[in-house]
Structure 1
Amino acid sequence: MKKTVILLACWALTWFAATANAQLVIEITKSAEDAVPIAIVPFGWESTGAAPFDVAEVVAADLRRSGRFEPLDRKSMIDRPTQGDQIRFQDWRYFKTDFITVGKLMPEGQGFAAQFELYNVLTGQRLAGQRLTASANSMRALSHRISDIIFEQLTGVRGAFSTRVAFINVEGTPPKQRYKLIVSDYDGENQQTITTSDEPLMSPAWSPDGQSLAYVSFESKASAIYVQTLRTGERKRVSARAGINGAPAWSPDGKTLALTLSRKDGDVDVYTLELNSQVLTRMTFDPSIDTEPSWSSDGKKLYFMSDRAGGPQIYEVDVANPKRPTRVSFEGNYNARPRVSPDGKQLAVVHLDRGNYRIAIIDLASKGLQVLSEGRQDESPSFAPNGAVLIYATQEKGRGVLATVSTDGRTAERFTNTAGEVREPVWAPFPQR
């Protein structure tokens, strides 16, 4: 039990780091050397007065933050066409711009309509075009949808600019702190507080449909797992068993949670909990500490961290036959917090790299490991729903901040807080089309 207490104490200190709710400012820290030059021309406004929203500014920021594109500075634009037949392609070739997006914004009903077109500058070919509508309060969402369309057209990968993230936020200093569970757009905008508590909140996990969050709360002075529906605010306590209730993870069908419990024998193990029936099934049986479960994309396996080999490593177990786990991680003496990629081919982990805790990915076929991040205390990796990027928590000048890195390691950015700290980010699934 002494080893269990020590490990869990370290685990708790990691999660209980003080955080504060503040606006997130994004700084690109690493861009691909071969970022594609693209022009996002300011949209025309087909009405009187000033345009109510700068769609092109948001689209350009989205594409720049992806690290894969380098939008042309507006100050360098010698022309501002708003539709395809106004583009003088030879002028844009002079700026060595590969692609150009033009468009216009117009009033429609109680909101607005945005019409845009994407062209290949070299050939003059129209690659995409669409007309989208939105209310006055949803113009950022409309802009992100345009970014998604452009990104997918040019990369073949579905854009994730319209997705959301959740993270833990704490105001104040010990012993008086106020914990918050926050949901925001992927870029930190439109923050919404889902729940608050004077006691720690931790381990948020999105349901597969993106409609609910599971999380751990200590509001009753002991750990319990709750499931909260975002639209209604309704929440339900699903596990408040004696001892540890931690690390919830949704099954792909949304019917079951994998979680960490310490039962009467004192062992810390992974279980599955059917939400409707409350039936518990034990998944690990070793006297070591087994925790941090993550489901395979088909729901047939669970990946988890265990110290059964003397240090934290990743194992997998067949849900239908859980008594024969196999080891997955082999490089290094510390690999923890496994998270499965959307395509089921990779695991993101926290890996000890030359004395630094960094984000790495393990190829499940070859078992090869690649270190992606460059911090000293990186933790809590979570894949974007398109599998192209990971968001994680790190430290900057002693403060907790969020960061992202592409899964090929070529691009990275940091979400700097104006005040306080944030922790435990988790990327939501794609919104339902």
Structure 2
Amino acid sequence: MFILFFLLLFSSISPVMAEGEVITINKAQYSAVPVAVNDFQAFSGADALLCDKIVEVINNDLKLSGAIKPIKRATFIENKTGIRNRPLFAAWKQISANFLVNGQVERIGREIKVSFILWDVLLQKDLGGFAFQMPDRLWRRAAHKVSDQVYEKITGQTGYFDTKIAYAAQFGTYLDRRTKIALMDWDGANHEYLTAGDAFVTTPILSPKSDKLLYVSYKQKVPKIYIKDLRSKKEKVLSNLPGMSFAPRFSPDGNCIIFSIARGGSTHLYEMNVHNGEYRQITHGNSINTSPSYSPDGKHIIFTSDRSGGGQLYVATRDGGNLRRISFGQGSYLGPCFSPKGDYVVFTKVSSEIGFGLGIMKLDEDIQASGERILATGYLIENAYWAPNGRTIIFSRQEPPVGSRVHSKLYMIDVSGHHEREVNTPDNASSPYWSQPLEAMGM
């Protein structure tokens, strides 16, 4: 819904003649790698159920990734478990397993130690093992960390399962919609609400350490950015600058925030220091500039501007210098975001040709874009964001209203355009944001 506010900022979404190639990704099938996650060995009968739950989470993580296909337990032939036994590889080959995960859980006081080994069944080779020790109440995190290591060993890509997702939960009807900011594990577990639901809120943004939250609230009738400390639960309006403030993003080091302020017919980008409140205006003139995002190294920004007609993507240095346009397609481009490696940008595109689309562009070392690919289309698509490994994109899609009912959900899709799936949330959902891995945040 919030993307409609952005569209209203622009006088039109009239087409601009295309100067670059546009490719729409087809949904050709591809094969996931078959992997067997064996039962984990428990050293006491009381921990047998815990082992089952850990294996269930690992299987679910790997399945949801789309790159790995867990093999059903009912087909297993060998019944030996634990990390000390060399597998009977012929038994695993017979059920078409390319890889095998063997593991165990030991209880150490109030903590658990989860250990596992990944085997290459075809090469009959030990690919390495890991052990994680943590409080037993964090058993799900232990399972996610196992999934991360298995995924990385098999695909060569960094795992992203030990992460959090923030989003705007939606309640009510199409004309009477209420929202709360929600936070959950990547797979939907440990769900909680961070705001009370007394005002319309949207676009939650977590700080790099996930200790602070930015979001836009209409509590003051016009959109204002609030910043909330997730430890102390204290919150305040980010800035008292006049006008409507929205579209915030943290800098990669978490020390600054970039955002938009609309007033007097223009919309401009501002950057504010989180610690002392000092700010500077980055863009000037009579144009509309919005949806800013930092590059991974913090040296550049990308944003949407109508200075050339419609909404097009522009890149500049952090202070607004060396400004250049990188999109040249028909329609309007909104919500751009650099990938974690800075090699792609994801965006929402609105045009008469495709309606709403989720797109990406490849970027070179000089942040020049080469063509664009549309990965998904729909009635209303918005707020795309990257998984920490840059392989998966999360976004929200709203279907056409049916009477007073609205259906808006989160979706994930691989950067190749494959494996689109709905994310399980208890409510309607929009404006997703993916955290950094919890390990990287010292959590």
Unaligned runs of 5+ in 1: 1-5, 13-29
Matched, 1:294 2:297: no
Check if 1:428 corresponds to 2:432.
no
Shift in CA distance, 193/136, structure 1 to aligned 2, threshold 3 Å:
same
Q: Are 2:386 and 1:378 aligned?
A: no
Alignment correspondent of 1:68: 67
Residues 275 and 115 of structure 1, relative CA distance in 2, 3 Å threshold? closer
Q: What amino acid does structure 2 have at the position aligned with 1:381?
A: A
Superposed counterparts of 1:112-191, under 5 Å: 112-173=112-173, 178-191=178-191
Letter in 2 for 1:108: I
TM superposition shift of 1:9: 7.2
1:238 is aligned with what amino acid?
L
Q: State the partner residue of 1:254.
A: 254
Cα distance in structure 2, aligned partners of 1:351 and 1:8: 12
The count of corresponding residues between Structure 1 and Structure 2 is 408
Whether the 8 Å CA contact 1:40–1:60 is kept in 2: the answer is yes
Query: Among residues 39, 45, 48, which one is paired with 1:48 in the alignment?
Result: 45
Structure 2: segments with no counterpart, 5+ residues: 11-26, 402-406
Give the TM-score taking structure 1 as reference length: 0.88
Measure how far apart 1:311 and its partner are.
1.2
Check conservation: 2:187, 2:424, Cα contact below 8 A.
no
The aligned counterpart of 1:245 is 245
Give, in angstroms, the shift of residue 117 of structure 1. 1.1
In structure 1, the residue corresponding to 2:56 is in which secondary structure? helix
Distance 1:56 1:66 in 2: 16
What is the rounded CA distance, in whole Å, between the counterparts of 1:210 and 1:281 in structure 2?
A: 25
Residue 119 of structure 1 aligns with an amino acid whose one-letter code is W
Aligned residues of 2:41 and 2:82 also touching (Cα < 8 A): no
Secondary structure of residue in 2 paired with 1:382:
strand
Q: CA shift at 1:177, angstroms?
A: 5.1
SS in structure 1 of the partner of residue 380 of structure 2: coil
Cα distance change on mapping 1:97 and 1:406 into 2, 3 Å:
same
Partner deviation per Cα, 1:181-221 (whole Å, 9 max, x = no partner): 11110111111211223221122112122221111122232
Give the one of 391, 405, 408 matched to 1:400: 408
Displacement after TM superposition at 1:269 (Å)? 0.9
The residue identity in structure 1 corresponding to 2:202 is M
Q: CA RMSD in A?
A: 2.3
Please give the alpha-carbon distance, in whole angstroms, between the structure 2 residues aligned to 1:216 and 1:303.
20
Quote the offset at 1:169 in angstroms: 1.1
Structure 1 partner of 2:332: 334
Q: Quick one: which of 341, 344, 362 aligns to 2:342? A: 344
Q: Greater shift after overlay, 406-415 or 49-58?
A: 49-58
The 3-state SS of whatever aligns with 1:146 is: helix
Report if the CA contact (8 A) 2:224-2:237 is conserved: yes
- 1:233 match: secondary structure: coil
The alpha carbon displacement at 1:111 in A equals 3.6
- Correspondence for 1:411: 419
CA contact (8 A) 2:188 2:424 kept: no
Identity of aligned residues (%): 28
The answer for the alignment partner of 2:79 in structure 1 is 80
Where 2:195 maps in the other structure, the secondary structure is strand
| 1:33 pairs with 2:30 | yes
Q: Is the 8 A contact 1:304 1:338 kept in 2?
A: yes
Q: Which residue of 2 aligns with 1:304?
A: 303
Distance between the aligned counterparts of 2:412 and 2:175, measured in 1?
A: 31
| Closer/same/farther in 2, CA of residues 31 and 73 from structure 1, 3 Å limit | farther
Q: Do the aligned partners of 1:182 and 1:191 also contact (CA within 8 Å) in 2?
A: yes
> Are the aligned partners of 2:200 and 2:218 in contact in 1 as well (CA < 8 Å)?
yes
Secondary structure of 2:297's counterpart equals: coil
How far apart in 2 are the matches of 1:80 and 1:105?
A: 17
Question: Retained in 2: the 8 A contact 1:204–1:216?
Answer: yes
The answer (yes or no) to whether the contact 1:302–1:316 under 8 Å persists in 2 is: yes
State the shift of 1:152 in Å: 1.2
TM-score, normalised relative to structure 2: 0.86
Provide the secondary structure at the position in 1 that maps to 2:130: strand
The answer to whether the Cα contact below 8 Å between 2:40 and 2:82 also exists between their aligned partners in 1 is no
Contact kept in structure 1, 2:379 and 2:399, CA below 8 Å: no
- Report the 3-state secondary structure (helix = DSSP H, G, I; strand = E; otherwise coil) of the residue aligned with 1:195: coil
CA-CA distance at 1:124 after TM superposition: 1.7
Distance 2:107 2:275 in 1: 47
> Cα distance 1:324–1:220, how it changes in 2: closer, same or farther (>3 A)?
same
CA distance in 1, matches of 2:131, 2:137: 18
Amino acid at match of 1:335: Y
Opposite residue 375 of structure 2, the aligned amino acid is: L
